[in-house]
Amino acid sequence: MAITGECFCGSIKYQYDGKLKDGRSCHCSRCRKAFSSQASSYALVEPTEFRWLQGAELLTSFESMPDFGFQFCSRCGSTLCGIHKGQPHGITLGCVNGDPDIDIGYHLFVGSKAKWEVLPTGIISFDGAPPES
Ligand SMILES: [Zn+2]
Ligand SMILES: [Zn+2]
């Protein structure tokens, strides 16, 4: 079943027809600011299965690294997706409607988490990047 998502103000909506992959949450200081939160919540998409349904003209992009950045709503500021070389790379799980049938599989960079964050117990976590990357 297709996954849909939208920003806080509802101006921008998307649909994803594929299966989300590699759900993760990064607790580094950069992700805290990019997601305005204690951590990111993010899963990877197949670019060809992703499309904007509405409001794509309201998207604003910010490239935080060469070839990689985020796209967000210029009205309400919700961060909707990550982009790599202009293609959708992943979606922010906070903007997904309903159950996208994926879990946060692991937490990375918990070694640099905010002092005020209390981590849940029972999670798979790494002080820095996960070993395979
Ligand atoms: Zn919006
Ligand atoms: Zn991060």
Q: Which residue has the tokens 């297709």?
A: 2
Q: Domain for residue 131, yes or no?
A: no
Q: Domain for residue 107, yes or no?
A: yes
Q: Model confidence over 98-113: pLDDT tens digits?
A: 999 999 999 999 999 9
Distance 62 CA to ligand 1 centre (A): 16
Q: Domain for residue 102, yes or no?
A: yes
Residue 70's DSSP bridge partners are 62, 82
| CATH code: domain of residue 96 | 2.170.150.70
Distance 30 CA to ligand 2 centre (A): 6
What residue numbers bound the domain in which 11 lies? 3-112
Q: Domain for residue 82, yes or no?
A: yes
Closest ligand to residue 130's CA: 2
Q: How many CA atoms lie within 13 A of 89 on its CB side?
A: 12
> What total of structural domains would you count in the chain?
1
Model pTM score: 0.92
Closest ligand to residue 76's CA: 1
Distance 107 CA to ligand 2 centre (A): 10
Angle at 40 between CA 95 and CA 28, to 5 degrees: 165
Q: Domain for residue 14, yes or no?
A: yes
Tell me the average pLDDT of the chain: 96
Please give the pLDDT value at position 25.
Answer: 98
Distance 18 CA to ligand 2 centre (A): 24
| Position 65 pLDDT exceeds 90 | no
Q: Domain for residue 132, yes or no?
A: no
